[in-house]
Amino acid sequence: MKMAGKTAGSTRSADVQVTFLHRLVLYVMLLAMVSLVRAAVPVPDIPLPQDAKQCVQPKSIMRREHFNFLYHQRDETMRRGIRTKRYSLVNCVSCHAQKDAKQQYIPINEKGQFCSSCHEYTAVKIDCFECHATVPVSKSAGQ
């Protein structure tokens, strides 16, 4: 079957090529839009520890998994009596709490501080500090 100088087979082939090119262009445009949107999304300003060089895990792992580490630590401590420092909330607070101009610790859950900066950004309620200390506890206070 001939259609204006082309065979039916060559028309289908051209249609497939055009469809593929349209999809490819659309895909590239979507990728470009996603990267622009990601670049425009503000990220929280997280105060970093003042003295420590690195955390107990890389940042990417801590962002995703810190709550699992804390839950596991809680279970080990409360149910099995095993206390370790690595993933303890006391250790987190001791490292990440910032000091103000008077060299007094700022509660870690206050606006703009380490815990609250991400938790506010992600709209996740912090309930740890309903029981736990929000500033480092001195050794003489029983810790």
User: What pLDDT was estimated at residue 51?
Assistant: 76
Cα–Cα distance, 28 to 97 (Å, whole number): 44
Q: Is 62 exposed, middle or buried (0-12, 13-18, 19+ CB in 10 A)?
A: middle
As a whole number of angstroms, the distance between CA 23 and CA 25 comes to: 5
Cα gap 115→63, rounded to integer Å? 11
Q: What per-residue confidence (pLDDT) applies to 119?
A: 92
Which pLDDT score is estimated for 48?
76
Q: What is the pLDDT of residue 143?
A: 44
pLDDT at residue number 84 = 92
pLDDT of residue 6: 56
Residues in the chain: 143
Specify whether the CB–CB gap between 107 and 113 falls below 8 A: yes
In the structure encoding, which two tokens stand for residue 13, read together? 């082939």
Please report, for the chain, the start and end positions of each structural domain, with discontinuous segments joined by +. 2-40, 59-141
Stretches where the chain sits below pLDDT 70 are: 1-12, 14, 16, 37-41, 139-143
DSSP 2: E
- The confidence score (pLDDT) of residue 35 equals 74
